[in-house]
Amino acid sequence: MMARRCQGGSVLSAIAVAIAVLAAAACDSSGGQARDSGKADWQMQSDRMVKEQIESRGVKDPRVLAAMRSVPRHLFIPPASRDDAYGDFPLPIGDSQTISQPYIVALMSELLEVGPGSRVLEIGTGSGYQAAVLAAMGVEVYSIEILPRLCERARETLTELEVDAVQVRCGDGYGGWPEVAPFDGIIVTAAPATVPGPLLEQLAEGANMVIPVGNFYQELKVITRVGRDFQERSVIPVRFVPMTGEVERQGG
Ligand code: SAH
C-alpha cells in the first residue's frame, strides 16, 4: 500500500516536473527563444527548398546552393504571402510584379558563371532577392529597377539585411550602367522581345548574359561574348514579366 502510494507520488511529481518544463519552454518561446525558433524554422524551409526544388533539378554550383540556403527569402516578400516564401513558385511583390520561383533564381545564378569579385549588372531589381543571392556568392551587384516604389523598397530591404555589395539604381535599365561596364555577367529578370543593344555592349569578353527573350512565349537564353561576336543558346522556356520602357518604344 505504502509502496503503491509512493509510486503514485513519484508519477505525480514526474508529471509536475514535466508541466513545469513545458511551462518554462512556453515562457521562453515568448522571449529570446522565439527569434531562434523563427530562424530555425525558415532555415529548415530554405534547406528543404534547396534540396527538393534546386539540387533535384540539377543545379550543382556549391556557391549558388550555399547562397540560396543562406538568404532569408521570406524577408523579400510582402507579409501577406510570406508563409509561402519557400514554395516552388513565383510570388507577387506588388505593382503587378513577381519574385521568380526559387529554382529559376538558382538556375540563372549558375548560368552566369560568376564568383567572388565578379561584377554583375542586374536589370529588374524587383524585391532585391536575386541581387542578394548574387551578393551572398561574393559578387558585386549593380541593379536597376524601373518602378520607383519597388526600387525604394528593395533598397530598404537590402539595407536592413546589411547587404552592402548591391547598389540599386532607380530607372530604366535599357541603357545599362555604362560607368561601371564592362560586366563579368549581366542578368535580366524581365523579358524583352529582343535583346537591348547597350546591354550586349556592356558584356566583358567571355562573360555571359542570362536573359528571358520573347513576348508570350519566352526562352531563357545565355549569350556569351566571344571577341566581337556573341554566341547564344536557349536553356528552357520561361514566363517572366515584360521588360518595359525604352525597349518597348524600340519595338523590341
Ligand atoms: N529579380 C527580381 C524579380 C524581378 S521581376 C527579384 O529577385 O525579386 C522583374 C522586374 O523588372 C520588375 O520589378 C519590373 O519592374 C522590372 N523591370 C521591367 N522593365 C524594366 C526596365 N526596363 N528596367 C529596369 N527594371 C525593369
What the chain holds in terms of domains, given with CATH numbers, is 49-249 (3.40.50.150)
* Residue segments in the chain with a per-residue pLDDT below the cut of 50: 1-35, 252
Q: What is the pLDDT of residue 37?
A: 61
- The residues annotated with a catalytic role in the active site are 100
Pocket around ligand 1: residues whose beta carbon is below 6 Å from it? Answer: 93, 97-100, 123-124, 126-127, 129-130, 144-147, 150, 172-174, 189-190, 241, 243-245
CA 50, CA 52: separation in Å to the nearest integer? 6
Residue 153 contacts residue 123 (beta carbons within 8 Å): no
Q: What is the pLDDT of residue 251?
A: 73
CA 56, CA 225: separation in Å to the nearest integer? 30
> Would you state the cell numbers that stand for residue 14, as one nine-digit string?
514526474
Beta strands in 18-170 (DSSP E): 91-94, 97-99, 119-123, 140-145, 166-170
Q: What is the pLDDT of residue 188?
A: 98
> Assign residue 168 a region: left if phi > 0, alpha if psi is -120 to 50, beta otherwise?
beta
CA of 60 to the centre of ligand 1 (A): 26
> In this structure, which amino acid lies at residue 118?
S
The atom number, within ligand 1, closest to the CA of 172 reads 23
